Structure 1
Amino acid sequence: MQPLEQELQRCLQEADRYRLLAEQSTDMISRHTPTPEWTFIDVNPAIERMLGYRADEIIGTSGYDLFHPDDADNLKKRADSVRYRRGMYTNVYRFQHRDGHYIWLETTSRTIRDELGHPVEIICVSRDVTERELAQQATRRLARVVEASSDMILFCNHRTLQLTYMNETAYRTFGAERENLAVFYLNQLFPQDVLHTLVEPALQHAALYGTWYGSIPLYPAGNPGRIAEIREIIAHRNRAENMQVEYYSIIARDITLKRKAEEKAKRQQLEMAHMSRLLSVGEMATELAHEINQPLATIINYCNGTFRRLEEGQITELTQVTRSMELISAQARRASEIIKRMRRFVRRTEFQRVSFPVNETCIEVTRFLNQEALDNSIRFDFDLDPDSPILEADRLQIEQVLLNLVRNAIEAYSDSDISPKPVTIRTRVEGKRITVSVIDQGPGIDPAQLDNLFEPFITSKENGLGMGLSISHTIIESHCGRLWVESDGQSGTRFHFQLPLKGQA
């Protein structure tokens, strides 16, 4: 065989091997005209699996017509999806399947030219990257959601505790800028006691169970006045290797506005409670004046009697004057206690959580209403828990609730002729809570009024504002308790409020 024939034979064998490789390839290998139509000249069998066409169906067809309209001119526009390297273009685009839907292809192409540099054809190698593109799209959508989230979202290295990613909200809350690169570490954001007692146990819990939920306060040093809290920690594991924790996602929230709103609401509640106490004292003005007048009148009588006896010479020994002074002093102290009690009740105060015996408070409130009870033939009956339970709350506000309920019980007898008229105050410990009840035997409350009894400005009193029960309801709820009423509209009314005992809130 001549050398020329041998070379020809070798070339034919090599061409057969290349064709065999092309036909067996899972990638789609195609040849196209170098014209705008990008017409198929030849294609391997992989096209049927990838695009649904047989090779003989697609040859002679314009490839350009099968591009998605938004991707047809990627190469001309040098879109972001196009890369160029060493004479080859790589383009990611959508191409129409035989069934009509579009799939994502990644195509690497090279233009074949003749000796004069004129394009002869274009060789393309394409693969289906639909799953990859959809996953990347989902990731990009998720990234946009994370960036737009009003929550702070942080990624934290599980070993170094370095924050490897922070969204825009986190940068803003920390008072930092992305342009000025700053390295944040989790252990730099918290005081040592908070880090050891709250943050580290939360991370350990997330590492063991996958997630942690709770509340850890965070005060950004670079943005004084802001308040945030960590609410959730998620541990992400390396599932491809050893299932060890790879990093943490930390979700936090800027609660500055919420705290300010809470403080404002608390101030408004205190003001409303103070106003309610002033109104209560105003409504009791006649009874209070009468109660103060009694010791004052007694003092005057003792003084006048002592003077008269001195003038008549009836007092001959110092001990007789001493006894009069003791009686006068006792009445003065009584008047002073009444005034002190009233001043303490009406003063404006901040919320103060203290420990106090609830039984003693119940008795103290009835002393404040002593004259009103006498004027209305009211008899106070006490059924108090023998264990003398201790509450931890704002004592003044609890006294205010009791005062409102007891006065309501007194007023329930306004049209009743029975005498005496019993008002029972009961305390009972039930588990970790205490229930205080104020019970009267008046005509009761119409069942139709029970549903809106605690709403503001709802009242059956001729001159009432309808704020007493509403404020009492708010006070009890702010103490993690509840206030409710029971009445059948015939046989009396029972108001109850329940609060956590000391140490159980």
Structure 2
Amino acid sequence: MASIKPTPDLRPARINALGEFAASIAHEVKQPLAAVTLNAQACLHWLAQDPPHLDQARSALRMVLEASTAASAMVRSLHGMACQAAPQRTSLVVNDVVRDVLQLLRSELRRQCITVTEIYAPDFQLHADRVQLMQVVMNLIVNAIEAARDLHDRPRMLTLHTALADDGLRISVADNGVGIVPALAERIFDPLFSTKPGGTGMGLAICRNIVQSHGGRIWNEPGQPHGTVFHLSFKEYTLWTPSRS
């Protein structure tokens, strides 16, 4: 009589997958929700003035709406990735995506006293999923903010740079924090691996999955003289030309 092979128990793998998915959601929505809180507090502050500063309050409310919309979009994006759905690609201007993310994080950057330097190439387009690209840029900027948080002996700096390089259109995010220990540099993109206390270890893993799904590459290198630089590169891009009516 033929032997019957035991059916493999898939529950541990499913539990691990659910755990990663939950950690991903927790990681991705944390910063947009923080932006909601900061801007809601700012709105209350402006309304409490005598007389109320209505223009500033309206601006803060617009940021609350944008941050909450971003959080919802990121959850949908994560669900789509978990279900292996195809990215929702459109033609987008890379510099606009970087600026939009930076605007969402302005309140936190000011709160952490971080000086931002922006260097932009001409407006180039990618055929990409806007929400997913925003997720990547937001993760990298948030990591830069966290890297600068413990700096007290020098100004806190963040540099955002888009440029054309030999490997294609490049987006770079540089901080001047303490940097990454060389022995750990190759592991930081691994799921559930984190160099930060309380970190989920999902942010950079999500970034790598998104960038690779768009045919791109992501890597990091030591900053000079301090910190870390993260680079994204995409080979397929076009120069953006404004449409004429």
Q: Same fold (TM over 0.5)?
A: yes
Report what 1:293 is aligned to: 41
Task: Measure, in 2, the Cα distance between the counterparts of 1:488 and 1:357.
Answer: 27
One of 78, 84, 103 as aligned partner of 1:367: 103
For residues 447 and 440 of structure 1, do their structure 2 counterparts lie closer, same or farther at Cα, with a shift above 3 Å needed?
same
Q: Are 1:422 and 2:157 matched, yes or no?
A: yes
Give the alignment of 1:316-395 within 5 angstroms: 327-328=53-54, 331-347=57-73, 348-349=76-77, 350=80, 351-385=87-121, 387-395=122-130
1:421 is displaced (CA, Å) by 0.9
Report what 1:279 is aligned to: 27
1:372 is displaced (CA, Å) by 1.4
Local SS of the residue matching 1:408: helix
What is the total number of aligned residue pairs between the two structures? 211
Report what 1:478 is aligned to: 213
Task: Measure, in 2, the Cα distance between the counterparts of 1:459 and 1:400.
Answer: 18
For residues 434 and 332 of structure 1, do their structure 2 counterparts lie closer, same or farther at Cα, with a shift above 3 Å needed?
same
Local SS of the residue matching 2:92: strand
Local SS of the residue matching 1:412: helix
Paired amino acid for 2:218 = L
Local SS of the residue matching 1:498: strand
Structure 1 alignment gaps of length 5 or more:
1-267, 307-326
Report what 1:502 is aligned to: 237
Task: Measure, in 2, the Cα distance between the counterparts of 1:287 and 1:468.
Answer: 18
Question: 1:277·1:400 contact (CA, 8 Å) conserved in 2?
Answer: no
Superimposed CA distance per residue, residues 370-410 of structure 1 (whole angstroms, 9 cap, x where no aligned partner): 1211121111110110x211111001111100111111111
1:278 is displaced (CA, Å) by 4.5
Superimposed CA distance per residue, residues 287-331 of structure 1 (whole angstroms, 9 cap, x where no aligned partner): 5412221123212435xx37xxxxxxxxxxxxxxxxxxxx52552
Higher strand share: 1
Local SS of the residue matching 2:98: helix
Report what 1:443 is aligned to: 178
Task: Measure, in 2, the Cα distance between the counterparts of 1:346 and 1:451.
Answer: 31
Paired amino acid for 1:334 = A
Report what 2:7 is aligned to: none
Paired amino acid for 2:194 = T
Task: Measure, in 1, the Cα distance between the counterparts of 2:104 and 2:208.
Answer: 21
Task: Measure, in 2, the Cα distance between the counterparts of 1:432 and 1:484.
Answer: 13
Return the structure number with greater relative CO, CA threshold 8 A, min gap 6. 2
Local SS of the residue matching 1:483: strand
Task: Measure, in 2, the Cα distance between the counterparts of 1:354 and 1:465.
Answer: 30
Question: 2:46·2:56 contact (CA, 8 Å) conserved in 1?
Answer: no
Superimposed CA distance per residue, residues 238-292 of structure 1 (whole angstroms, 9 cap, x where no aligned partner): xxxxxxxxxxxxxxxxxxxxxxxxxxxxxx9xx95x9635423325645541222
Larger radius of gyration: 1
Question: 2:169·2:234 contact (CA, 8 Å) conserved in 1?
Answer: yes
For residues 465 and 332 of structure 1, do their structure 2 counterparts lie closer, same or farther at Cα, with a shift above 3 Å needed?
same
- Identical residues among aligned pairs (%): 28
Give the alignment of 1:59-70 within 5 angstroms: none
Report what 2:12 is aligned to: none
Paired amino acid for 1:452 = R
Structure 2 alignment gaps of length 5 or more:
1-16, 81-86, 240-245
Paired amino acid for 1:338 = V
Local SS of the residue matching 2:49: helix
1:418 is displaced (CA, Å) by 4.1
Q: Over aligned residue pairs, what C-alpha RMSD do you find?
A: 2.8
Question: 2:36·2:63 contact (CA, 8 Å) conserved in 1?
Answer: no
Report what 1:402 is aligned to: 137
Local SS of the residue matching 2:118: strand
Report what 1:492 is aligned to: 227
1:440 is displaced (CA, Å) by 1.0
Local SS of the residue matching 2:205: helix
Give the alignment of 1:149-188 within 5 angstroms: none
Superimposed CA distance per residue, residues 443-485 of structure 1 (whole angstroms, 9 cap, x where no aligned partner): 1111100121111111111111100001101110000000001
Task: Measure, in 1, the Cα distance between the counterparts of 2:184 and 2:166.
Answer: 31
Local SS of the residue matching 2:148: coil
Task: Measure, in 1, the Cα distance between the counterparts of 2:142 and 2:69.
Answer: 19
Task: Measure, in 1, the Cα distance between the counterparts of 2:40 and 2:156.
Answer: 24
Question: 2:95·2:162 contact (CA, 8 Å) conserved in 1?
Answer: yes
